[in-house]
Amino acid sequence: MGVDNRLRRPLSALLEAVPEDWSDVVQPWRGSAAGQRLQAFVQARLAGGATVYPDSPLRALALTRRAGLRVIILGQDPYHGAGQAEGLAFSVPAGVAVPPSLRNILAEVAAEAVAEGMAEVGAAPAKPAAGQLGAWADQGVLLLNCVLTVEDGRPASHARQGWEALTDALIGAVASDPGGKVFMLWGAHAQAKAPLISALGGGRHLLLAANHPSPLSARRPPLPFVGCGHFRAANAWLGAPRRVSWRLGSQPPGGQTLLYS
């Protein structure tokens, strides 16, 4: 039986339960015209029989503490197939088939580890079954889509309904917060946020741009995602001990999670 990731709980209740460290961004939006419009729109779609994903649209905020942020990866909107979206950009629940964009992301992680000479001797290649990115979120990687809900089989169906005002505010908040962070901007939609990040970041952040990891664009010039080196570049810039363990489930001798920089 597949994962049931349909939105069932009232969006207002989910917004009210946002962790305290994100509350100063989320609650003003919740009461704003954009927030009220979005909540009414989602409720109307549900009342009309639409299937909306995911069941936890704000999960990225629940898993990643604001004070511990190291990296922000921006997606566009959630996967629109049953059982896929789980409130983390690009991630799918354990056991769910890995979508093509995520497959390219995991392949890039594995290729960068090999290029750095840090792959385990005799280890099998990364398997596409490992598509749940919660381990990244736990390490301070904010996996944030710009739109947080979608309808079954209808990509971008909740775009321009009010979510963007919230996610822009979240991006602006983390760009304004103290400390340097890495922003991975894959594709034109994510790269459009670069001026906002730069304006508020005071030059203290690293912005890494590449094409979207979708097979339609991952190898195209001028900024192919394949071979972009973003995961190594992020860790080199962050430095120890802030670097991120990107290999999912990789355990080198001694039992510690593999790190490469």
The residues annotated as belonging to the active site are 77
141-145: strand order across its sheet: 141-145, 71-75, 182-186, 206-210
Distance CA 152, CA 225 (A): 28
| β-pairing verdict for 206-210 and 150-151 | unpaired
Q: Indicate the length of the chain as a whole number.
A: 261
Per-residue exposure over 150-174, b if at least 16 CB sit within 10 Å of its own CB, e if not: bbeeeeebbeebbbeebbebbbbeb
Answer yes or no: are the C-beta atoms of 190 and 216 closer than 8 Å.
no
Helix orientation angle between 33-47 and 20-31, rounded to the nearest 10 degrees: 80
Answer yes or no: are the C-beta atoms of 143 and 77 closer than 8 Å.
no
Question: What is the rounded radius of gyration, in angstroms, for the C-alpha atoms of the chain?
Answer: 18
**Dihedral angle sign, alpha carbons of residues 105, 107, 109, 111:** negative
Is-cis flag, bond preceding 222, omega within 30? yes
DSSP state of 162: S
